Chains A and B, each alone.
Chain A
Amino acid sequence: MRTRDRNFWIQTAVIAAVIASLVAVFAYSETKPLKADELAVQIADLRSLCSSGKKMFEQKASGELTDAFFANQIELMHDNVTSLREDLDTSNAEPNLRNALGRSRELAARVDVAFYRLSENGLSEQAAVEAGGLVEPLKQLEDQLKQEAEK
């Protein structure tokens, strides 16, 4: 085999191995049980969305936002919340995090409901209060998970 041909096959094999490794890493990361820090990331996203939802309601009530902006921004945020909730519902967690995962799912479901109500009726103060009220429990759970991850 000529040197040029051999180099070609070596380069092809290396590229194929790199691609196969990336696919394997991706597949593993999608199916492996969640660790505490990974769960904390999802809870942090939910906490941030809840706080944004509450703030938007306040700004809408004081006439700082247009109707189109409010409705469409809430819709985009609701899509993110739904995606996070579905991720949590279908994920596994490490055995010591089962309770935390259960609590995460429960809180995510409540956030989803609050955003659904806000997207249906932007003047729903009850939904805004519900979203705002979830910021603190989500923050507590996030901090607890971060401490767990530090151990």
Chain B
Amino acid sequence: MKKALEIFLGILTAMGGFVEIGELVFSVDGGAKFGYSLLWVVIVGTVGIMTYGEMSGRIAAVTSQPVFFLIRQRAGYAAGLTTLLAALAVSLLTCAAEIGGVAIILKLLFGGNYFLLVIIALVFFLTVVWFLSFQAIERVFGLLGLLILVFVAAAFYLDNNWSQIASGFVPNLPAVETSKDYLVYFYFVVALLSSLMLPYETYFYAAGALEDGWNPSDVNLNRVIVIIGFAFGALLAVALVVVGASYFKPMLIEPQLPGTVALAPASVFGKVGLILGLLGMFFAFGGAAIENALSGAYNTAHFLGWTWGKFRPPKDAPRFHLAWILIFLIATLVILTGVDPVQVVEYSVIFSVVILPLTYAPMLSVANDPDEMGPHVNGILAKSLGWFYLILLSIAAVAALPLLVITNGGKG
């Protein structure tokens, strides 16, 4: 009974924590620009994050070693340090964007000065992470993030053009006005793929497995949580693309603000839909901000061999606790400069794809190693999918920055 509850909560938490501000913006904006043509990317990205999420959880359960310890071991100190610095930069930018997103949601709910709300959001996050346990943070934000399911209900009411929706799951090129629009489409393909496979998701998931004390007997639990939780999470991403295509595209609206996205559930469910959508975004963005700050601290501690763990009181792991506090503070300073959080997340998502192969290559190497993994070594399916995504992400990593520049950040 206890195991079943753990699986159920794990699935819901994985699902509720699936969406963050980057995915929200890219999914809805992508739908508004290209209709259903990007739906296949959601499937490709979801299978990718399932593949590497499952691998990271299995490695943690079997070897009891964190991701960045293994990266350092496999890739060497110099390459490992480069990956760590890049991962930290991306976590910092993503955390900054999520804090800005939370401040925007607070402003839309209650009003007030944006910069003051950024400070309030910082105090809220520091308090939550300081006082709540890892499991409580994961569950509270994961489960309340499920409020964002209101977008699935809205998509269902707004659009029942099932044959057109189904055709979007097959890789395709959309009908566009100019040849440059194809480049914008490929930019969105790369960005959406990256936002679905953000590296912090695997860092945080593996660190969570270690915090929860997983061992080889949890390998199946890991598999069920990742596959079912992420599959339901993908449903949210699909709903966001459908909302963009069916609600915003006909009105020539390309939503760039989280508040604009909330107009869709409001149009179906009135003020209740609006409030549920905004609260769902609050917890989804808030959860992602915390996961990024903690991921940065975990990664640094794992790489440098510090004592780490949310389960340890600050006096027993002072550098780890100082690290996540510093990440929150620096991320807040970035947002207080007045930069647009949505622009920040767009850059962080694109830079993420550049570091994804650096993160996943050592992970695949460990999971393929029978000496390290014993009977839990990658099977033929995990190995094939692992190589396929590593190659795909390497191509995306090479294309990401040129596409960012050529398409003016995906605007045309």
Question: Which residues of A pack against B, CB within 8 Å?
Answer: 37-38, 40-41, 44-45, 47-48, 51-52, 55-56, 59, 63-66, 68-69, 71-73, 76-77, 80, 135, 139, 143, 146-147, 149-150
B384 located at the interface, meaning its Cβ lies under 8 Å from any Cβ of chain A in the complex: no
Can you list 25 A-B contacts (CB < 8 A)? A37-B180, A37-B412, A38-B408, A47-B252, A48-B252, A51-B252, A51-B253, A55-B253, A64-B270, A64-B271, A64-B274, A65-B274, A66-B271, A66-B275, A69-B274, A69-B278, A72-B107, A76-B107, A76-B257, A76-B259, A80-B257, A135-B252, A139-B252, A149-B180, A150-B179
Would you call B167 an interface residue if the criterion is a C-beta within 8 Å of the partner chain's C-beta atoms? no
- Complex CA gap A135/B254 in Å reads 13
Residues of B whose CB lies within 8 Å of any CB of A are 104, 107-111, 177-180, 251-257, 259-260, 262-263, 266-267, 270-271, 273-275, 278, 408, 411-412
Chain A residues in 8 Å Cβ range of B271: 63-66
Decide: A68 and B178 in contact? CB cutoff 8 A. no
Question: Which residues from A are CB-within-8-Å of B278?
Answer: 69
Report the separation of the CA atoms of residues A150 and B177 in the bound assembly, to the nearest whole angstrom.
10
Partner of B263, one of A55, A72, A76: A55
Q: In the complex the two chains form, is B408's CB within 8 Å of A41's CB?
A: yes
Partner of B267, one of A47, A59, A135: A59
Please determine whether B259 and A63 come into contact, CB atoms closer than 8 angstroms: no
A45 touches B256 (CB 8 A): yes
| Chain A: minimal CB distance from B343 (Å) | 11
Partner among B110, B253, B270, B273 whose Cβ is within 8 Å of the Cβ of A48: B253
Distance between B135 CB and nearest chain A CB, rounded to angstroms = 33
Residues in A whose Cβ lies below 8 Å from that of B111:
68, 71-72
Task: Please give, as numbers and ranges, the residues of chain A lying within 8 Å of B109 by CB-CB distance.
Answer: 68-69
The listed residue (A38, A55, A68, A76) touching B104 by CB distance below 8 A is A76
Which one of B110, B179, B254, B263 contacts A59 once the chains associate, using CB atoms below 8 Å?
Answer: B263
- CB-CB nearest in chain B for A25: B405
- Chain B hits for A47, CB < 8 A: 252
B85 CB to nearest chain A CB (Å): 13
- A37 near B260 with CB under 8 A, answer no
Of residues B109, B179, B251, B263, which shows the largest number of chain A Cβ atoms within 10 Å of its Cβ?
B263
- Give CA–CA (A73, B254) in the complex, Å: 15
A146 touches B178 (CB 8 A): yes
B244 → A minimal CB distance (Å): 12
Determine if A150 and B253 form an interchain contact, defined as CB atoms under 8 angstroms apart. Answer: no
Least CB distance, A54 to chain B, in whole angstroms: 8
- 19 further contact pairs, Cβ within 8 A, besides A45-B256, A69-B262: A37-B408, A41-B411, A44-B254, A45-B411, A47-B252, A55-B253, A64-B270, A64-B274, A65-B263, A66-B271, A69-B109, A73-B257, A76-B257, A77-B260, A80-B257, A143-B177, A146-B177, A149-B180, A150-B179
